[in-house]
Structure 1
Amino acid sequence: LELTRRAHVLVVGAGALGNEVVKNLVLSGVGNITLVDMDRVVASNLNRCVFFTPEDAETSRPKVDAVAEGATRLDGSVQFHTENQRIEDLGEGIFTGKDVVVGCLDNLATRVHVNANAYWMRIPYVDGGTMGLMGKVHVVVPPETSCVECTLNSSHYRIIEQRYSCTGADTTFVEPKLASEVTTTAVVAAVESREVMKVVNGRRDLLMSNLFYYDGNRNVSDVLEVAINPECPNHTEEPAAVDEGAPEATGRGV
């Protein structure tokens, strides 16, 4: 319990998945949480985000503040630090001193940014995502395991590049965006949270190896071991500068 209370977790994304992950971490005893999301609460968020209220939507409250206040009601001793902006604008300092990074994102470019920074700073990264009734969790332990970018192919990079063309402002998603489904979100958040608890308690030996898939249509799941891709830019011999001069990306939570 002492290790959990001292842990500092960076959660990127305060949407439906981020709400669930923060709730789980607080109830599990994590003592320090930094939460980053650029978005504000809107009415369409209310049916799938446990901490958001109608008043939050009416006032367009920053999602990070709404989550922090709601989570504090569960445990007032948790120390929250919130950033209502793009994580790309915060620099690598936002990762410093964190025991683990948790991704709750629906945006490919931001996911690549977070993955690269965590990998080069040797911080475990637990990346989650959902699409309707489908979900996945990728556990990245640098430098031993593959990372999120190891799973990408040329079509993914074309999607990112389109975002930065003069007409590609809304093309950063890998797949058509579907609304979060609450039961899938709960499953993915639970798996992410459990992997985080293994890291903060020094039990990396129990971590998944290393990609969890969930199919809510059939209520089945599987764990696959993803090999390191030798062509992945995060697996070169020497660390490169992360995202210097990189094009902008949004930082929304799923």
Structure 2
Amino acid sequence: MAKTYADLLQEVKAAIRQVSLEDLKERLESGEEVILVDVREKDEWRQGHVPGAIHIPRGFLEMQSGSRLPDKEAKIVTMCAAGIRSAFAAKVLQDLGYRNVESANPGFNQWKDQGFPTTQPFAFTDAQLNRYSRHLLLPEVGEQGQAKLLQGRVLLLGAGGLGSPAALYLAAAGVGTIGLVDGDTVDESNLQRQVLHGLDRVGESKVESGKRTIENLNPDVNVISFNERLTRQNVDRIFDQDWDVIVDGLDNFATRYLVNDASVWKDIPVVHGSIFRFDGQVTTFWPRHGPCYRCLYPEPPPPHLAPSCAEAGVLGVLPGAIGTLQATEAVKIVLERGDPLVGRLLQYDSLQMQFRTFKLRRNKECPVCGDHPTITDY
């Protein structure tokens, strides 16, 4: 005789462990390491969920559990609206080899009715759900990650070769606030590589040109323009605006040292990029996590060994590759995902189409980030 739904549900509940909402609340408040997996649908999740829960809709559980729940020994509690879908979800996880799985009974509706803690997810508009749909499909981003991006703040130093692709991709990704620092104007010679600008912008301020381009690409982005060069006199005013990360697209050593020192003292990660003819490099300097710029370059090289793009030339597409890598690092930092290039220097040879990675180490004698710093002011 074929099983009925009631028979199947009874078998599933007999095969799993269930936890009451009161016990679950007490365990969460005590700080016990429990992964709470909410298996409701997206529209239910958007109406509220338990703080700290991760969202894996029931229909995606088998597909996403391997990447979202890598530790099969971890304590996991599944939750749905009333305790039925979570029971089936717990059984599936058990069948997949997870050894410490429980199902919350009855579920979120009762949790909310009892006045237990809940949180409301970021409220996306229909237009945003459509615009960022490809991000929302990524388990590593999802709605929580996209909300982080929309609430993120990234400062771009330079709206030129490196700043242009970085700005475009950060804006497209939905970084909510982008600061642009550049005191230059658009010149025709810039257009070979500075894709943020166009012929109709020649003679215009680069930050104002960049702001127009970004706002046209994504109206969600608030652009803060600093139509000035970064100096000792304005660095505090510009940096003290709660930036999550700084993207360095500068082209001179003196300002890079200034950026390094200020970012170390203010504890702001800096994604550094530089280009020369056919070569480029990217690394991330994150205070207290790895070396700083002065660890890599204790002193600036002689001018003849580090000519500018105007003196030595540069392949037009090269800034696109390096600036996009910088944008990728910045997005990862805002999302708190992946492994940034801290303590690693990524070098790119476009002629040979080769990437190489070199280890960087913090210099204990560094005058800024070392054990006994000697540089403490600009």
Pick the TM interval, shorter chain: 0.7 to 0.9
2-side partners of 1:42 and 1:116: how far apart?
Answer: 31
1:11-61 CA-to-partner distances (Å, cap 9, x unmatched) read 00111111111001011111100110111111111222212122321xx21
Q: Who is 2:185 aligned against?
A: 40
Q: Who is 1:196 aligned against?
A: 330
Relative to structure 1, the CA distance from residue 234 to residue 153 in structure 2 (aligned partners, 3 Å threshold; closer, same or farther) is closer
Corresponding residue SS for 2:251: coil
8 A Cα contact 2:345 2:359, kept in partner: yes
Corresponding residue SS for 2:220: coil
8 A Cα contact 1:38 1:86, kept in partner: yes
Corresponding residue SS for 1:234: coil
Q: Who is 1:220 aligned against?
A: 354
1:242 to 2:377 alignment: yes
Deviation at 1:185, TM superposition (A): 1.1
Specify which of 194, 212, 226 is matched with residue 83 of structure 1: 226
2-side partners of 1:231 and 1:174: how far apart?
Answer: 25
Relative to structure 1, the CA distance from residue 110 to residue 193 in structure 2 (aligned partners, 3 Å threshold; closer, same or farther) is same
1-side partners of 2:345 and 2:286: how far apart?
Answer: 12
Specify which of 237, 242, 252 is matched with residue 93 of structure 1: 237
Specify which of 9, 31, 44 is matched with residue 176 of structure 2: 31
1-side partners of 2:317 and 2:229: how far apart?
Answer: 28
Specify which of 252, 258, 273 is matched with residue 128 of structure 1: 273
Q: 5+ residue gaps in structure 2?
A: 1-145
Q: Who is 2:307 aligned against?
A: 176
- The one-letter code sitting in structure 2 at the alignment partner of 1:69 is R
1:117 to 2:262 alignment: yes
Deviation at 1:241, TM superposition (A): 3.6
2-side partners of 1:64 and 1:188: how far apart?
Answer: 20
Name the % identity. Answer: 28
Deviation at 1:181, TM superposition (A): 2.1
Q: TM-score, normalised by structure 2?
A: 0.57
Deviation at 1:77, TM superposition (A): 1.7
Deviation at 1:238, TM superposition (A): 6.5
Q: TM-score, normalised by structure 1?
A: 0.83
8 A Cα contact 1:14 1:35, kept in partner: yes
Deviation at 1:237, TM superposition (A): 4.1
1:73 to 2:216 alignment: yes
- The one-letter code sitting in structure 1 at the alignment partner of 2:319 is T
Deviation at 1:153, TM superposition (A): 4.1
Q: Who is 1:167 aligned against?
A: none
Specify which of 135, 145, 154 is matched with residue 9 of structure 1: 154
- The one-letter code sitting in structure 2 at the alignment partner of 1:42 is D
Relative to structure 1, the CA distance from residue 137 to residue 174 in structure 2 (aligned partners, 3 Å threshold; closer, same or farther) is farther
Relative to structure 1, the CA distance from residue 231 to residue 238 in structure 2 (aligned partners, 3 Å threshold; closer, same or farther) is closer
Q: 5+ residue gaps in structure 1?
A: 160-170, 244-254
8 A Cα contact 2:153 2:243, kept in partner: yes
Relative to structure 1, the CA distance from residue 124 to residue 152 in structure 2 (aligned partners, 3 Å threshold; closer, same or farther) is same
Deviation at 1:191, TM superposition (A): 1.2
Moved more, 215-224 or 180-189: 180-189
Relative to structure 1, the CA distance from residue 176 to residue 150 in structure 2 (aligned partners, 3 Å threshold; closer, same or farther) is same
Relative to structure 1, the CA distance from residue 39 to residue 233 in structure 2 (aligned partners, 3 Å threshold; closer, same or farther) is same
1-side partners of 2:246 and 2:174: how far apart?
Answer: 16
- The one-letter code sitting in structure 2 at the alignment partner of 1:206 is D
1:210 to 2:353 alignment: no
- Which has the higher Rg, Structure 1 or Structure 2? 2
8 A Cα contact 1:13 1:104, kept in partner: yes
8 A Cα contact 1:112 1:149, kept in partner: yes
Say how many residue pairs are matched.
Answer: 226
Relative to structure 1, the CA distance from residue 242 to residue 20 in structure 2 (aligned partners, 3 Å threshold; closer, same or farther) is farther
2-side partners of 1:135 and 1:51: how far apart?
Answer: 19
2-side partners of 1:174 and 1:229: how far apart?
Answer: 23
8 A Cα contact 2:368 2:376, kept in partner: no
- The one-letter code sitting in structure 2 at the alignment partner of 1:222 is R
1:98-148 CA-to-partner distances (Å, cap 9, x unmatched) read 000110011111111111111111111101011111000121111120111
Which structure has the higher relative contact order (CA within 8 Å, separation 6+)? 1
Q: Who is 2:253 aligned against?
A: 108
8 A Cα contact 2:149 2:175, kept in partner: yes
Q: Who is 2:34 aligned against?
A: none
8 A Cα contact 1:137 1:188, kept in partner: yes
- The one-letter code sitting in structure 2 at the alignment partner of 1:83 is F
